[in-house]
Structure formats: structure tokens, C-alpha cells
Amino acid sequence: MKTKVLSFLLLLLIAASCSSNKQAQLDKLKQQQQTISDQIKTIQKSLTASGDSSNVDKNATLVAVSPLQTSTFSHYIEVFGKLDGDQNIGVGARIPFGTVEEVYAKVGDKVSKDQVLVKLENEAIKKQLNDMETGLKFTTDIYNKQKALWEQKVGSEVQFIQAKTNKESMEARYASVKEQLDMYLIKSPINGTIEELNVKIGQTLAQGAPVIRVVNFTSVKVVADLAESYATHVNVGDKVLIYFPDLKTEAPASINFSSRYINPVNRTFAVEAHLMKEIPSLKANMVVVLKINDYKSEKTLAIPVDLLQNDQHGSFVFLAQKNSANFVARKVPVQIGQSYAGITEIVKGLKPGDSLITIGYQDLEDGEAIRF
């Protein structure tokens, strides 16, 4: 009987102990629930303050916004031009007519100034020069003899002067014929590379017609014609960008020449720009786009052109603005400045930090509820 009583008391103690553990667990869970509830309230308040879409009316229009920041805005004048070497010279015959006897170069050769490229037939002039060499030698010998006699006070002064005159006259004639012989040679006027050579042995050349083109690409330039309206916007020293469509590359340059002459036919003026860095694969007459920086504004507001809308009053954009606990779209008129490459400068109407609506703005109404 005593044993039964002890067993019953033991069971009561165990039951009491289990009941105490469950109560402690329940109290702990209730405390965790309160902590989580407080955290939820804190996050909800934060979402409301930041305009998070999860705490906004789901019937509001969904948009995307971007805060405005200042940046540098540049505008460029774009015009097509062509690439050229600083020295690009066509060379031809210097005599009225001549037949090609020898060709000493080919396309792609690097040549130096005064290097002979082509020789024209010159047998007649060479024969004349050879005959004159004989005559010059004879008159020189006569002069030397007369000079020696005159120094010894032998012979007359007239004979000495006559011999001297004959010698000098023959030297002048010989030099003139030698110059004529040199004109039968076509030489490179500069150091460079032969880019064109339209000449063959036996071909007859006429004076003044370029048959060889020598280009020096040590210094490369771009040549373009600009409309007269840009005359006051472009000056020597202006920085420009040169875009090569075929090479898909861009390089900096500067204006080194701006013509003061307006072509009366097409009302344009010529400009030249020298490249500031070397680019491989450049070729003479390659088409380029000359981008001249005619306007630049530091710390300005600029937005994509697509975000601008227009009504009878002018241009406007939509901003996201806080209205009580929610956000609404506000129609804001703006004054625009220059535009380039899809970007427009905003002169008036916006300020740094404004929340510009960039997606979903097309069908908005002023004051319409939005979420993002």
C-alpha cells in the first residue's frame, strides 16, 4: 500500500513538471510573436516612408523612377569628311611629252624625297649633253692655256677674256641641258609611300597629268566642308572627335585650320583637323565623321529625349511626388536647351534629386496614383 502511494505521488510530480515546461514554451513563443510583430510594424513604417510598392495601393499605376543628378552635357556638330595625309601629292611628267623607259618603284613602296621613280626616253638629250661635254672640255682647255699665258704676261688680254667667256658660256649651256635631262626623270617630291602608280613601260605621258601618288601618313588630317551657319562656332584649336565608320573607332583631334573663304556655290567653308593619336589601317580618302564640340555645359541636368512630352503649352515631364502616405504623378513643364545623341539639356523646371518617371509615363494624368 505504501508503495502505491509513492508511485502516485511520483506521477503527480512528473505531470506538474511537464505542465511547467509547456507553460514556459508558450511564454517564450508569445514573446517571440511580440518581437516579430514589432519588427513587422517597423518595416511597414519604413516601406511607407520610402514609397515601396508593397505598401501602396495595388490599383495605382506601376512606374519606374530615376533620381536626377547633374552631369556634363556636350553638343557636337557632325559632318562627313575624308581622311588625308598631311602630304598627299600627285606626280607627273615635267616635259610636254615623254615615253616611259624604266619604272623603278611599285605601289606600296616607301620612298624618299628626290628618289627616281620613273625614267622617260632621253636619248636625244643625252647625245646633246655628250656633245656639249666634249665642247666644254675643249673650251676649258683653251681657257686654262690662255690663263697660264696671261699670268706670264704672254699674249693679249683680249684672247684671255675671249677664252674665259667661251668657257663660261659653254658651262651655262651644259648646265641648262643637264637640267633638261633631269626633267626626263619623275622623282618623289616627299618622303612617303606610293599609293597609286598608273604608268607602264612604253606608255606616253603628257605634262601635268599625275600618274603617281605619294602620301606621307606621318601626320594624318581630316578635311571637311561645313555649312556657313557654323562659321562663328568653329575656331582653330577647338577639340573634336573623329569617328571612322569602317573601323568602328573614334579618336580625338583638334582644328588646325578654318578657312575664311565661303564657297559661293554651296555656301560652305573648309576645315582641317589633325589626329592626336596613331590608328592602324588608315587609308587616304577614307570616309570619316567629324564631331566638333560647339557647346558644353558643366553640372547641368540632362534627360533622354524620349522622356519629354508636349502639349499646347510646351514640353513637360512627369515626376513622382509624395502625397500623404502614397505617391502621385506630377506633370511638370520644362524649358529645354540643346539636344545631342538622344539626350536633351533641361534649362528650367527640374532640380537635382527630383524623381523622374522613366517607365510608364506615356498615359499618366497629373495627380494619378502611382507605385514603383
- Identity (one letter) of the amino acid at 172? A
User: Residue 6 has what pLDDT?
Assistant: 46
- Within 10 angstroms of residue 122's Cβ, the number of other Cβ atoms is 20
**7 domain residue, yes or no:** no
Question: What are the backbone angles phi and psi of residue 25, rounded to the nearest 5°?
Answer: -65, -40
**How far apart are alpha carbons 85 and 357 in whole angstroms?**
50
Average pLDDT over residues 102-125: 89
* pLDDT given at position 73: 94
Residue range 234-250: mean pLDDT, rounded? 89
Q: Which DSSP helix (H) or strand (E) runs through 29?
A: helix 2-50
What is the model's pLDDT at position 42? 52
Mean pLDDT to the nearest integer, 92-114: 89
Q: Is 270 within the bounds of a domain?
A: yes
Q: Of 296, 317, 350, which one is at a domain's C-terminal end? A: 296
* Domain range for 267: 78-84+216-296
pLDDT for 14 beyond 70 = no
The predicted structure's pLDDT at residue 39: 55
> Residue 106: inside a domain, yes or no?
yes
Residues 227 and 274 in one domain: yes
Task: State the average pLDDT for the chain.
Answer: 83
Burial of 211 (0-12, 13-18, 19+ CB in 10 A): buried
259 falls within a domain = yes
**CATH number, residue 333:** 2.40.420.20
Q: Are 223 and 246 within one domain?
A: yes
233 and 290 part of one domain: yes
| pLDDT surpassing 80 at residue 278 | no
Least confident of 156-160, 197-201, 317-321: 156-160
Which pLDDT score is estimated for 22? 61
CA pair distance 349, 74, nearest whole angstrom: 20
% of the chain at pLDDT higher than 70: 84
